[in-house]
Amino acid sequence: VVSYIVRSVDELLRTEFGLEDGLADTTTWGAMAGRHKDLKIPEGVPPDQAFVQILDPATGTGPFLVEVIDLVRRRMEEKWKRDGELPLNYHNLWNEYVPRHLLPRLHGYELLMAPYAIAHLKIGLKLYETGYRFGSTERARVYLTNALEPASDIQLRTIALPALAHEAQAVNEIKRKQRFTVVIGNPPYAGISSNMNEHAQHIVDAYRFVDGGALNERKLWLQDDYVKFIRKAQTTIEEARVGVFGFITNHGYLDNPTF
């Protein structure tokens, strides 16, 4: 299922967005705005930033990001072959591409420490398997955070561990400024959601109205975590004004009266 969703998103980028290399494409926002006159670069986004920016807001142990790495490696080998590069050069080309054009575009949020650590391990192992050797300081941008919570203004000095303080500062910058055009993942399902602070409850407010009329939903089904993550993916892409997302979700919205 993960492979299917990643390949489908890649196909949409190639067919609907005109990006020949799909998830591997490094076309910039400036170039895309030049091709599509109705496309506006989001405020705060530099024109030389790559258009394809990928986020998995419920990373878990990292299967979606690992699958993206696999697909991108295959796509780049196809590109190098078309360009007449010798297979002997693929290793060096890949080691140039990863820190410059792959890791800066891959992002993930994970709330729990154990899967967060495993995700970093799996991403590192996958990159090693593909021939990447960690010669730069560029990291996998998977952050320990709750995707449903906004950037926090918490005083970082109150956090005991300097590494966690740095992590919190980094993810707050991402949440405030980064604009994503691809959102993928497998969000949690929980009819009795644990994300019930005021901000999290209001995430789904837009879904309480249909064609301008109130849904008058009296139960808590809209507070299911996966519904919140769908709404969060929608608003994330709206911030970029354009994009695509693919989730594994509960099937309840196909036949549940509320949905």
- Residue 191 pLDDT class (50, 70, 90 cuts): confident
Q: What is the pTM of this model?
A: 0.92
Q: Which pLDDT score is estimated for 151? A: 86
Q: Say if residue 259's pLDDT is above 60.
A: yes
Report the distance separating Cα 150 and Cα 93, nearest Å: 38
- Residue 11 pLDDT class (50, 70, 90 cuts): very high
Minimum mean pLDDT range among 7-21, 147-161, 187-201, 210-224: 147-161
Nearest Cα residue to 249 out of 181, 188, 180, 183: 188
Are the C-beta atoms of residues 87 and 63 closer than 8 Å to each other?
no
Are the C-beta atoms of residues 176 and 206 closer than 8 Å to each other?
no
Q: Say if residue 155's pLDDT is above 70.
A: no
Average pLDDT score, the chain: 91
Report the distance separating Cα 123 and Cα 140, nearest Å: 7
- Residue 154 pLDDT class (50, 70, 90 cuts): low
List CB contacts of 128: < 8 A, sequence separation 6 or more.
Answer: none
Q: Say if residue 217's pLDDT is above 70.
A: yes
Instruction: Quickly count: other Cβ atoms within 10 Å of residue 205's Cβ.
Output: 10
Are the C-beta atoms of residues 73 and 94 closer than 8 Å to each other?
yes
pLDDT in tens, 32-75: 999 999 999 999 999 999 999 999 999 999 999 999 999 999 99
pLDDT in tens, 161-179: 677 777 888 899 999 999 9
Parallel/antiparallel/unpaired status of strands 209-210 and 213-214? antiparallel
Q: Which pLDDT score is estimated for 153? A: 65
Are the C-beta atoms of residues 27 and 153 closer than 8 Å to each other?
no
Minimum mean pLDDT range among 50-64, 85-99, 128-142, 215-229: 215-229
List CB contacts of 157: < 8 A, sequence separation 6 or more.
Answer: 165
Instruction: Quickly count: other Cβ atoms within 10 Å of residue 17's Cβ.
Output: 21
Q: Which pLDDT score is estimated for 161? A: 67
Are the C-beta atoms of residues 111 and 53 closer than 8 Å to each other?
no
Percent of the chain residues topping a pLDDT of 70: 96
Q: Say if residue 18's pLDDT is above 60.
A: yes
The CA R_g of the chain, rounded to the nearest whole Å, is 19
